[in-house]
Amino acid sequence: MTDCIFCDIASGEMDADVVYEDDRIVAFEDANPQAPVHLLVIPKNHIESLEEVPEDEFDLIADIHKTIQKLARSEGIAESGYRVVNNCGEEGGQTVGHVHFHLLGGRELSWPPG
Ligand code: 5GP
Ligand code: ZN
């Protein structure tokens, strides 16, 4: 175990309902879902937030979005629509300090968020 819960999920040391995994990325069900589909997609390596992504690692962020597109299709929400959210930093509402992208769908989502 480390002091980062998402690192522990990525390494398999902490349980999660994993729906996708490859050598660099893991996707799992959010423990407190805000929509019928609510997945979190993360890099396996520890990066604190979007703000901390090194210039030469943005291919990883692109791959995460490719994964999100695939997951939206496999979860059956690609046609109806979905939302991808990254909360960054304190005022952005980030509560877990390991960069992650929320994939939300399966209901009508309001905008703007509160
Ligand atoms: P944030 O607010 O940082 O953007 O989102 C963190 C998300 O992580 C929240 O939606 C929260 O429900 C989820 N979360 C926090 N701890 C755990 C956990 O241990 N397991 C899983 N699967 N999700 C978690
Ligand atoms: Zn981490």
User: pLDDT tens digits for 54-106?
Assistant: 999 999 999 999 999 999 999 999 999 999 999 999 999 999 999 999 999 99
Structure-derived torsion over alpha carbons of residues 37, 38, 43, 47, reported in degrees to the nearest 10: 160
Domain region containing 78: 5-105
Any domain includes 112: no
For residue 98, what is the domain's CATH number?
A: 3.30.428.10
Ligand 1 atom with least separation from CA of 100: 4
Is ligand 1 within 6 A of the CB of residue 94? yes
Ligand 1 atom with least separation from CA of 96: 3
**In terms of pTM, does the model score above 0.95?**
yes
Query: Ligand 1: distance of its center to the CA of 76 in Å?
Result: 22
As a whole number of angstroms, the longest Cα–Cα distance in the chain is 39
Total domains in the chain come to: 1
Using CA atoms, how far apart are residues 28 and 41, in angstroms rounded to an integer? 7
Any domain includes 36: yes
Taking 3-state DSSP, the helix, strand and coil percentages for the chain, each rounded to the nearest 5, stand at 25, 20, 50
Catalytic residue list contains 100: yes
Any domain includes 84: yes
Terminal CA-CA length for the chain = 34
Any domain includes 86: yes
Any domain includes 114: no
